[in-house]
Structure 1
Amino acid sequence: MKKLGDAIDGIKGLIAFMTRIPVGNFHSDLEEISKYLLFVLLIGMFIGFLGSLVTFPFYCLKVDAPILIGTLVLFTMLYIQGFHHVDGLGDYGDAWMVMGGARRKLEVMRDVYVGVGALVFIFFIEMISLTSIGYLYSKLPFLTFLKLMILTEASSRLGLLTCACCGIPSKEGTGRYFVKNTNEYHLSLGYLIMMILSFLLDMPKIGVLCSTVAVFFAMAVAKKSNSEINCVTGDVLGATVEMTRAVVLLSAYLGTNLYI
Structure 2
Amino acid sequence: MVLTALRGAVSFLTRLPVGGGESGWDAFRRTPITFPLVGYLVGLLAAVPFFAPDLLSLLPFVPRLPPLPLNVAIVGYLLALYAVTGITHADGLADLGDAFAVHGSVEKRVDVMKDSETGVGGTLAVVLVVVGLALGALGLPTNGWGALPAVRIVVAAEVAAKTAMALLVCLGRAPHEGLGSQLVGAVDGWWVVPVLTLSLPLFLVPGPAVSAGLAALLVAPLVAGGVGWWATRTVGGVSGDVLGAANELTRLVALHAGVVAWTFF
Return closer, same or farther for 1:25/1:58 CA change in 2, 3 Å cut-off: closer
CA contact (8 A) 1:64 1:138 kept: no
Evaluate the alpha carbon distance shift between residue 79 and residue 11 of structure 1 in structure 2; reply closer, same or farther with a 3 A threshold. same
Instruction: Report the alpha carbon displacement of residue 27 of structure 1 after superposing the two structures with TM.
Output: 3.0
Q: CA deviation at 1:173?
A: 1.3
Q: 2:238 aligns with which of 216, 232, 239?
A: 232
Is the 1:51–1:77 contact (alpha carbons within 8 Å) kept by the matching residues of 2? yes
Matched, 1:210 2:213: no
Distance 1:102 1:201 in 2: 48
2:30 and 2:261 mapped to 1: Cα distance?
A: 34
Give distance in 1, aligned partners of 2:206 and 2:82: 23
In the alignment, does 2:162 pair up with 1:167? no
Q: Which residue matches 1:12?
A: 7
Q: Residue 27 of structure 1 aligns to a residue in which SS?
A: helix
Unmatched tracts of structure 1, length 5 or more: none
Kindly provide the amino acid, as one letter, of the partner of residue 211 in structure 1: L
**Identity fraction in percent:** 23
Unpaired segments ≥5 residues, structure 2:
55-64
The aligned counterpart of 1:189 is: 194
Correspondence for 2:32 among 34, 37, 44: 37
The CA distance in 2 between the partners of 1:142 and 1:82, in whole Å, is 25
More helix by share: 1
Amino acid at match of 1:160: M
Post-superposition shift, 1:57?
4.8
In 2, the alpha carbon distance for the partners of 1:17 and 1:135 equals 31
- Contact kept, 8 Å, 1:170 with 1:233, in 2: the verdict is yes
Residue 245 of structure 1 is matched in structure 2 by 251
Aligned pairs (5 A) from 1:69-80: 69-80=73-84
| Residue matched to 1:219 | 225
Q: Is the 8 A contact 1:14 1:36 kept in 2?
A: no
Find the counterpart in structure 2 of residue 146 from structure 1. Answer: 151
**Cα drift, residue 85 of structure 1:** 0.6
Which residue identity lines up with residue 164 of structure 1 in the other structure? V
Query: How many residues were matched structurally?
Result: 253
Tell me what 2:58 maps to.
none
Report if the CA contact (8 A) 2:141-2:149 is conserved.
no
TM-superposed deviation, 1:99: 1.5
Residue number among 127, 131, 136 corresponding to 1:127 in the alignment? 131
User: C-alpha distance in 2, partners of 1:240/1:138?
Assistant: 28
Distance in 2 of aligned mates of 1:207 and 1:252: 6
- Which residue of the partner structure matches residue 115 of structure 1? 119
Determine the C-alpha separation between the residues in 2 that align with 1:26 and 1:143.
36
Q: 1:46 and 1:29, CA in 2 relative to 1: closer, same or farther beyond 3 A?
A: closer
Letter in 2 for 1:224: W
Q: Which moved more, 1:191-200 or 1:109-118?
A: 191-200
What SS does the corresponding residue of 2:198 show, helix, strand or coil?
helix
Deviation at 1:30, TM superposition (A): 4.6
Q: Distance in 1 between matches of 2:159 and 2:166?
A: 11
What is the aligned counterpart of 2:108 among 99, 104, 107?
Answer: 104
Q: Is the 8 A contact 2:174 2:239 kept in 1?
A: yes
1:182 shift after superposition? 3.6
**TM-score, normalised relative to structure 2:** 0.86
Give the counterpart letter for 1:100 in structure 2.
G
Residue-by-residue CA offset, 1:80-125 (whole Å, 9 max, x unaligned) = 0122211111111111111111111111111100100111000111
Distance 1:189 1:152 in 2: 18
Between the aligned partners of 1:137 and 1:208, the Cα distance in structure 2 is: 15
Distance in 1, Cα, partners of 2:158 & 2:100: 24
For 2:57, the equivalent position in structure 1 comes to none
Segment drifting more, 246-255 vs 47-56? 47-56
Q: Spell out structure 1 runs of 4+ moving beyond 4 A.
A: 29-32, 137-140, 201-204
Cα distance change, pair 110–233 in 1 and its aligned pair in 2 (3 A): same
